[in-house]
Amino acid sequence: MATETDTQQIGTNKEDEPELDRGPFEAWAARSIKNPKRAYKAMFYTAMIFFLVTTLFPFYWLLMVALTPDGSLQNIVLAPATFDPTLLLAGDLTMGTNPGAFVEIFERLPFHRYMFNSFVIATVTTVIVLVVSSLAGYVFGRLRFKGKSPLMLLVLVVSFFPPAAFFLPLNQLFNRNFAVLQPVMSDGSLYNTPYAMIIPFSALFLPLSIFILTTFYAQIPDGLEDAARIEGTTRLGALFRVIIPLSAPGVATAGVLTFIAVYNEYFFSSLMTDPGAENWAPIVEGILGYQGQYQELYNLMAAASIVGVLPVAILVVVAQEKIVSGLTAGALKE
C-alpha cells in the first residue's frame, strides 16, 4: 500500500519538478512528501522525546537536588555547582557531589520505618481490595439477579465523593475507645494504628477495582466456568483457578492502581496518625520530617523521595511483565 503511493509520488514528482535547487530542509520536506512515513516517524520521535523529557526531567532534577551538598542548593544548573569530574583523578569518587544524603536520610529519621509503614498499609489494603473486589466482580460480572445495576451504581457512588467528606465521621470513630478492642489495642481506639488507614482506604479504592474486575470477569466464557465446576471446583474455586488467572491483566491493573494510590496517600494518613514513624505515619510524613522549624533539608527530602519511589517502580516493572504475559497467553477462544 505504502510502496504503491510512494512510486506514484515519485513518478509525478519526476515529471512536475525535475530540477529544483533545494536547501537541506527543503530537500527533507520534499522527501517527506514523497514518503509520508518519514514525516510520521519524525513526528513520533519528536513527541516521544517531548514526553520523555517532561516526565523524566523532574526525576533527573530530583537526583541532582539530592546529590547537591547542603548549602549550595541555589547553584544547580544541570548538575550541582560543586560537580567537578576532574576530582575523580584526585581520587574523589563522588566528584564533588554528596551521595551521602542517601545515607543521611536514614540517620536523621527512621525513614525505613516510614517506608515500611506505607508499604504494609498499601500491601494489606491491596490484598483486601483485590479479594473483596474479585468476589464482587464475579457477582456483578457473571451472575444475573434483580437490582444488579442499581447496586453497581450504589457502589460507584462511594467513589464520587471527595475523600475529605468521609474524614470527620471516620476521625471521630477512630478516636473513640471501644471496649471490644481493649485486648488488642492498648486504649481501645484505632487512632495511630494501621487499621485507621487500611479500613477507609479499602472502602475508598474498592469501587474502582470492582469496576475494572467486573468488566474483565464478564468476558470469560461461561463454558470455562462450567467446565471447571464439572471437573470438581466450587463456584469460588472456579473463580480462583480459572477466572482470575485468565483475568491477570485486569487483576494486575487494579492491584497496581490501588497500591500506588495508597502508598502515596497523605491526606488521610497524616490525619489518622500523629507524626512519628512509631505511630504508623506514612512515607510522605517522613519526607516532610526533614523540614524543620529553622532549616529545610531539600537535598534529604529529594533523596528520600527517590528511595521512596523504588518499591513502586519495582512493583510496576514486575506487574507490567504480568500484564504483558497475561495479554499474550490470553487468546481466549469461545
Partner 1 sequence: MADVKLENIVKQYEDVTAVDDMNLDIKHGEFVTFVGPSGCGKSTTMETIAGLTKPTSGTVMIGERDVTDLPPKDRGISMVFQNIALFPHMDVYDNISFGLRLRKYDKSEIDRRVEKAAEVVQLNGMMERMPDEMSGGQRQRVAIARAIVRNPDVFLMDEPLANLDAKLRVHMRTELQRLHKELDTTIIYVTHDQAEAMTMSDRIAVINAGQLQQIDPPLVCYNEPANLFVAGFIGSPSMNFVEGEVAGSGFTSDDVKVSFNPSDYNLGRGKDVTLGVRPEDVYLANNSREAADPTVPLTATTDVLEPMGNEIFAYLTFDEDATSSMTDAQLPGQLLISVDPDTEIEEDQEIEVVLDRSKIHLFDTAGGKALTHEITDTGATSTAGADAEVGTDD
Cell matching residue 134: 474479585
329 binds partner 1 (CB under 8 A): yes
Of residues 185, 161, 162, 163, the one with CA closest to residue 175: 185
Question: What is the Cα–Cα distance from 194 to 121, expressed in whole angstroms?
Answer: 6
C-beta closer to partner 1: residue 1 or 331: 331
Check residue 237 for interaction with partner 1 (CB under 8 A): yes
Question: By CB under 8 A, is residue 196 in contact with partner 1?
Answer: no
Is 145 or 294 the residue whose CB approaches partner 1 more closely?
145
The rounded distance, in Å, linking the Cα atoms of 43 and 165 is 45
Cell triple for 192 = 495511630
For position 231 contacting partner 1 by CB under 8 A, the verdict is yes
In angstroms, give the least distance from the CB of 169 to partner 1: 41
Dist. CA 232–CA 245, nearest whole Å: 17
Q: Which is nearer to partner 1, 157 or 329 (CB)?
A: 329
| 278 sits near partner 1 (criterion: CB under 8 A) | no
End-to-end CA distance of the chain: 33
- Asked if 282 contacts 117 with a C-beta cutoff of 8 angstroms, the reply is yes
Q: Specify whether the CB–CB gap between 200 and 312 falls below 8 A.
A: no
Do residues 225 and 242 touch, judged by C-beta distance below 8 A?
A: yes
Cell numbers linked to 240: 480462583
State the sign of the Cα–Cα–Cα–Cα dihedral 90, 96, 97, 101.
Answer: positive
Nearer to partner 1, 183 or 223 (CB): 223
Identify which range of 45-53, 121-129, 223-231, 258-266 contacts partner 1 by CB under 8 A: 223-231
Candidates 61, 245, 274, 314: give the one binding partner 1 (CB under 8 A).
Answer: 245
246 near partner 1, rule: CB under 8 A: yes
> Minimum Å distance from CB 152 to partner 1?
20
Instruction: Tell whether residue 233 is a contact of partner 1 (CB under 8 A).
Output: yes
Q: Of residues 226, 278, 296, 321, which one binds partner 1 by CB under 8 A?
A: 226
In degrees and rounded to multiples of 5, residue 216 shows phi and psi of: -70, -50
Report d(CA 297, CA 312) in Å as an integer. 24
Contact call for residue 232 and partner 1 (CB under 8 A): yes
Instruction: Give how many residues touch partner 1 by CB under 8 A.
Output: 22
Distance CA 138, CA 236 (A): 9
**Segment contacting partner 1 by CB under 8 A, of 62-70, 133-141, 148-156, 224-232:** 224-232
Q: How far is the CB of 135 from partner 1 (least distance, A)?
A: 18
Cβ-based neighbours of 254, under 8 Å, separated by 6 or more:
129, 130, 133, 208, 209, 212, 213
Task: Give whichever of 191 and 217 is closer to partner 1, judged by the CB atom.
Answer: 217
| Complex with partner 1: residue 307 or 323, whichever CB lies closer | 323
Least Å distance, CB 237 to partner 1, is 7
Pick the piece of the chain touching partner 1 (CB under 8 A) from 91-99, 155-163, 198-206, 237-245: 237-245
Asked if 81 is part of the footprint of partner 1 (rule: CB under 8 A), the reply reads no
The CA distances from residue 46 to 23, 40, 41, 42, 52, in Å, are: 22, 10, 9, 6, 10
CB of 158 to partner 1, least distance (A): 31
Binding site for partner 1 (CB under 8 A): 221, 223-224, 226-234, 237, 242, 245-246, 329-334
